[in-house]
A and B are shown apart, each in its own frame.
Chain A
């Protein structure tokens, strides 16, 4: 019978549906008899789902202001006296 560690090694491919049938069958057989591995599989799936729902990190206000100023300053430097600021040429 497949061990818990072997199941863990193949878990990603199993969930992605990329395992050959004989291996998937071995995993299903193991899961029928191993409560901890069912919990392990479910919590692995929860981990993936939670991270996919993470919102973007919020930029600290002071950093935002500094970066905005840097972009503005860079823009002015780039335009360098040109009257076409913000209208880069082709």
Chain B
């Protein structure tokens, strides 16, 4: 039975790939602001947008981060940890932005374990999905559904979820960035995944397609 052949999901694999790709390619050369922009603005924006949930805030944070990078250009000669540093300052900037945002959302924190009866059974039918991990079509429509589900996650889970399952950062790094213990990161990540699964289920369950 496939379901019983559980394998570790290797949450760190993607992070290594990103870091390797992001090593400054111009050995010994100077970054120019233009290079900083072209190489890093898309990723900074993408992370900020997913954490903050809207373009206006993401633009503010992206600009803030890019200017920080330009200001410190001379410290980046051949550094291999630029990607990690960028993640860190983007997360810090996004959190700071969220704190000072006047219309900060006060979304009710949903408990994913509310989807079970008092006796511990699933509260609703759980049907198989039309997609399997080995057979996923990343259409624009699918991507939009996932992005919407991410935006709808409560912030308390969204930050960890985006950093872990979208950006592929190791849990320990996420804990350092967000000031959380490792068990807290894992707990929030699991709850975020359960809420994501619940949000996406109506779109992917076989009977609904």
Q: Is the CB of A57 within 8 A of B45?
A: yes
- CB of B25 within 8 Å of the partner chain: no
Number of A-B contacts (CB under 8 A): 173
Residues in chain B near residue A89, CB distance under 8 A: 74
Given known contacts A66-B59, A71-B37, is B201 in contact with A43 (CB within 8 Å)? yes
Given known contacts A54-B166, A78-B70, A89-B74, is B37 in contact with A46 (CB within 8 Å)? no
Residues in chain B near residue A86, CB distance under 8 A: 30, 32-33
Known contacts A3-B120, A45-B133, A48-B193, then 19 further A-B pairs from the complex at CB < 8 Å, ordered by chain A residue: A4-B122, A8-B113, A8-B116, A14-B6, A32-B4, A43-B197, A43-B201, A46-B204, A49-B133, A51-B165, A52-B165, A55-B138, A63-B55, A67-B63, A71-B33, A72-B33, A74-B33, A74-B70, A78-B71
Identify the B interface with A (CB < 8 A). Answer: 1-4, 6-9, 11, 14, 30, 32-34, 36-37, 41-43, 45-46, 49-50, 55, 59, 62-63, 66-67, 70-71, 73-74, 112-113, 116, 119-122, 125-129, 131-133, 136, 138, 142-143, 146-147, 150, 161, 165-166, 168, 186, 189-190, 193-194, 196-197, 200-201, 204-205
